[in-house]
Amino acid sequence: MKSIDPMRREGEADGTDPAGTAAQPACAAPVRPRRFGLRWLWAARVRAWRWLVRFLRAALEPVIEWTIRLCGWSAILFVVAIFVFVFYWASHALWGGLDLVEFFTSPNWRPTSDVRPQYGILALMVGTLSVTVLAMAIAVPLGLGAAVYISEFCSGRPKETLKVVVELLAAIPSVVWGFIGYMVLGPIIMDLTGAPVGVSLLNAGVVLALMSVPIIVSVGEDALKAVPDSYREAALAMGASRWEVVYRVLFPAAKNGLLAAVLLGVGRAIGETMAVLLCSGHAIQIPHSVLDPVRTLTATIAAELGETVEGEMHYSVLFLIGLVLFAVTFVVNLIADLVVKGIRRENAG
Amino acid sequence: MRTPVDAGLDPRGERASAGQDLFAPSAWERWKGVKEKVARLVFLGMTLALVLPVVVIVGYLIFRAWPVLSLSFLLENPRNYMTAGGIWAPLVGTFCLVFFSLLVAAPIGILAGVYLNEYARDNWLTRIINLAVMNLAGVPSIVHGLFGVGAFVMFAHMGRSVLAAACTLAVMSLPVIITSTREALGAVPMAFREACWNVGASRWQTVRTIVLPNSISGMLTGVIFEVSRAAGETAPILFTGAVFFAPVPDHGWASLFPYGPGDRCMALSMHLFTLATQVRDAPESIQYGTAVVLMGLILAVNGLSIGLRTYLRSRKRW
Amino acid sequence: MDAHIRFNQVSVRYGARPALGDLSLEIPKNEVFGIIGPANSGKTTLLKCINRTIDFVSSARVTGHVLVGGEDVYRIRNVCSLRRRVGMVFPLPVGLPLSVYENVAYAPRRAGVYGRRELDALVETCLRQAMLWDEVKDRLRMLGTRLSGGQQQRLTLARALSHRPEILCLDEFSIAIDPVTTMKIEDILRELKQQMTIVLVTNLVQQARRLADRTAFLSGGRLIEVDQTEKLFEHPAERLTERYVNGDFG
């Protein structure tokens, strides 16, 4: 008598079914031979079909899991690949006799000179640094202030609206920011300060600040949200005003997260290309005032790569600048990551 | 009812008999209240200092772009060395680039996110992968452009083409898609997975039947968000496939799909850059118009992603 | 006494923290075997070793042998089939985000059962066994997560029964549900023990007394005493056991 329990196990210790997807019902499909002699063919066909389905299902699952595994490892592959390819093309400069000391210490960037091409990036590094410092000087107080306001001083509809506005701020692409700096802010600066050119360190700094603020606000807000409510309640119960709660309790408690927010903003500012290309100017010099035009490392690559030929020294040096940028942002992100890990360890401990 | 005398504020009942309200704030408390209001205003001011300039600037852009904004602006090709006409070719180019780049990035990114959240153990390999994702996210866009040139244009012999530019954008999009996939998967409670494992479902079966169906909407939100980011990027496509001018037919079927994988294309972000820096006598309204269309496109897609996220929060199945 | 499950000097560590220390235990067939003990005594870890769900905890290191029906569980190639031989009910009721019907049909489907009639019959059988059929029979399409806590716990029981296990493990099943549902489930367990071995982990000492045939007392990851329930409660051999069953600690 056939069992009517479909879960009745048959062929239990069958090692050929790693996914365990077998256990077909006990009643097989009825064999209906049309003519004597075809009976065997029918039965064989059904058996073969069932075997194929079981085999495919069992074979497909490890294939899928391996595909998933490979995709997971792909992130490492891509980071390494970026390094390898940029390094490969940059190395042509090194084999071609580039003086590394001059590279890092000379402010003379004259790659197209007929007399003697010079590849000193000091002015460019100072440009990147000065734009970043100015941008952070504006963005960090504003961003952290906004993070505090959104996190502590408002709630409900205004809070949701502000958060949406900050996200939309983050969505504006860098080329549009650059356009704004170039077309809108430039003339304003020229009018207000009488500077001869609108594109300058100041212009780029302000634009970059507005671009970096959203990341500082959102990461900072996360850091403040992570501070347990019990801290706030304890401070309020002891009679602290809300400002005191922020200043004396939240900032010390969330300092790692806030630091990570600032570092991520710095990383963003250092790596920004199109906005600074459009608003920082074309003069490759060490700036003496905020109204001077400057050039950053990123803008130099973007501006000059199109005019070089593959294999030329100039071309390879631009790749070398890319390598320097890669290394710097790698380090900044590593530090930010360690800082965040420091928070997790503190919170867990 | 407790009186101030009982509450210990006035043990000998002196101030009460003098008619003073004992629960009124003291001078020190009033000063603290003032400090609190000032602090609140300062922080509000900081927030407004961010929000207002942007609102003003965006409004100004729209104002300057107004004469040019119309359907024909969107549908016409640039004419007369970009000093007239519309932005159809760059618009289509941007769509092509973003579409192809997500075609590559979305499967890899989603599967990588599935691996990291569902399969990866807590060991050194996983830590390195997490570090790699974080660093991939932090690589400057121009370095992505250099990588694209070195790897796709040169090494893979794709030449400057839509394919090379799309691959470069795909590598740039990967970390965002991985992160948003992990968030979407992480939102599914662990209890569901444990329940499935305990009844004999394998890891993949659990992922396929319970985890993925309940997180696919979160992943979609991430992909849509990445669309808006990729559409605005210029540096990665500057040297890998986007060009100054790549004419497309004005009408007919070919005008909808003008770019093949091997062709060079125009792109909206590059077009704005070109108009602002390399085209003489480009009318300012066209420049503002391009900027507004690009920004509007991105904000619309971003808004769609935010809206989808809000809608999904209200529809949870547990 | 025919041991259905046997633990041979099993130790489990979560990283540096020991959870089970050198445990040797035999669980006989077709009985209710109770396991009692204070918090953190390794009771849940013990259950996880039976169906190898301990594999999903990254930091867990298991030494020793666990044998189910005479086979070492780590030598069974098809882990999923092992897990289908063991049913598990957790402390917190878990309804999968599927319809009630699909909740119970989940395990059979994964095991390859497709026939509609077979699934219908199976779902009804299991829901009847879990004493949930009458309450949900016209609501089979409803989302499982919308049931009440007591109903979800019975749904979990039905799901555990749907793959016809030989062993049913319950880990403090009553802590999150009402007393009426608890009593119903206890009645179900009394009926089920004729068909399967039941391992009942509980922190309600009286529940073990009501249901279990034999009881083991664990503390700090070690097996302190195991005996017939009545004897364990009336005349425990160890002082620690006596203190625990009298409510002095835990």
Q: Is the pLDDT of residue A36 over 60?
A: no
What is the enclosing helix (H) or strand (E) of C23?
A: strand C17-28
Residues A237-289 pLDDT 10s: 888 888 888 888 888 888 888 888 899 899 989 999 999 999 988 888 888 88
The answer to whether C99 faces chain B, any CB pair under 8 Å, is no
**C19 three-state secondary structure:** strand
The answer to whether C15 faces chain B, any CB pair under 8 Å, is no
Cα separation, A268 vs B138, whole angstroms: 7
Q: What pLDDT, on a 0 to 100 scale, did the predictor assign at position C2?
A: 64
Each domain of chain A, given as residue ranges in start order, spans 101-110+118-348
**A98 three-state secondary structure:** coil
Q: What pLDDT, on a 0 to 100 scale, did the predictor assign at position C60?
A: 92
**Which pLDDT band, with edges at 50, 70 and 90, does B291 fall under?**
very high
Cα separation, B243 vs B245, whole angstroms: 6
Domain count, chain C: 1
Pick among B122, B192, B199, B206 to test the C interface (most C CBs inside 10 A): B199
Cα separation, A185 vs B293, whole angstroms: 20
The answer to whether C51 faces chain B, any CB pair under 8 Å, is yes
Residue with tokens 């079966």: B205
Q: What pLDDT, on a 0 to 100 scale, did the predictor assign at position A35?
A: 55
A314 touches A306 (CB < 8 A): no
Residue C206 sits in a domain whose CATH number is: 3.40.50.300
**Which pLDDT band, with edges at 50, 70 and 90, does B257 fall under?**
confident
Q: What pLDDT, on a 0 to 100 scale, did the predictor assign at position B20?
A: 67
HSE-CB at B141 with a 13 A cutoff on CA atoms is 26
Distance from CA of C83 to the nearest CA of A (A): 10
**Which pLDDT band, with edges at 50, 70 and 90, does B7 fall under?**
low
Burial, B135: exposed, middle or buried (Cβ in 10 Å; 0-12, 13-18, 19+)? buried
State chain A's mean pLDDT as an integer. 83
The predicted model scores a pTM of 0.85
B: neighbours with 3+ CB pairs under 8 Å? A, C
Q: What pLDDT, on a 0 to 100 scale, did the predictor assign at position A17?
A: 40
Cα separation, A339 vs A327, whole angstroms: 18
* Phi, psi angles (nearest 5°) of residue C98: -130, 175
A289 touches B288 (CB < 8 A): no
B263-267, B274-278, C114-118, C145-149: the lowest-pLDDT one: C114-118
Backbone torsion region of residue B202, taken as left when φ is above 0, otherwise alpha when ψ lies between -120 and 50, otherwise beta: beta
Q: Is the pLDDT of residue A6 over 90?
A: no
Distance from CA of B162 to the nearest CA of A (A): 17
Q: Do A7 and C163 touch (CB under 8 A)?
A: yes
Cα separation, C228 vs C221, whole angstroms: 21
Nearest CA to A263 out of A229, A312, A215, A223 is that of A215
**Which pLDDT band, with edges at 50, 70 and 90, does C186 fall under?**
very high
Q: Do B174 and A78 touch (CB under 8 A)?
A: yes
State chain B's mean pLDDT as an integer. 86
A214 touches A172 (CB < 8 A): no
Domains within chain B, CATH numbers bracketed: 71-313 (1.10.3720.10)
Nearest CA to C18 out of C183, C165, C221, C159 is that of C221
Beta bridge partners of C5: C27, C68
C7 touches C33 (CB < 8 A): no
Distance from CA of A60 to the nearest CA of C (A): 15
**Rounded to 5 degrees, what angle do the CA atoms B73, B77, B81 make?**
110
The string of DSSP codes covering B186-250 is: HTS-HHHHHHHHHTT--HHHHIIIIIHHHHHHHHHHHHHHHHHHHHH--HHHHTTTB-S-----S
Using a CB-CB cut-off of 8 Å, the residues of chain A touching C84 are 20
B83 touches B283 (CB < 8 A): yes
Order across the sheet with C3-14: list the strands: C17-28, C3-14, C60-68, C71-72
Structure tokens at B162: 């839509």
| Within-domain flag for C131 | no
Share of chain A above pLDDT 70, in %: 87
What is the average pLDDT across C34-56?
92
Statement: A101-110+118-348 belongs to CATH 1.10.645.10? no
Distance from CA of B203 to the nearest CA of C (A): 10
ipTM: 0.92
What is the enclosing helix (H) or strand (E) of C44?
A: helix C43-50
Cα separation, B9 vs B26, whole angstroms: 12
**Which pLDDT band, with edges at 50, 70 and 90, does B13 fall under?**
low
**C64 three-state secondary structure:** strand
What is the average pLDDT across B250-278?
82
Show the domain range for C22.
3-94+168-245
Order across the sheet with C86-89: list the strands: C86-89, C167-171, C197-201, C32-36, C214-219, C222-228
Burial, C227: exposed, middle or buried (Cβ in 10 Å; 0-12, 13-18, 19+)? middle
Q: What pLDDT, on a 0 to 100 scale, did the predictor assign at position C1?
A: 47
Q: Which residue of B has its CA nearest to C59?
A: B122
| Within-domain flag for C130 | no
A163 touches A240 (CB < 8 A): no
User: What Å distances lie between residue A282 and A133, A200, A274, A277, CA to CA?
Assistant: 19, 9, 13, 8
Cα separation, C173 vs C192, whole angstroms: 16
B92 touches B220 (CB < 8 A): no
| Within-domain flag for C155 | no
Nearest beta carbon to residue B44 from set A73, A149, A243: A149
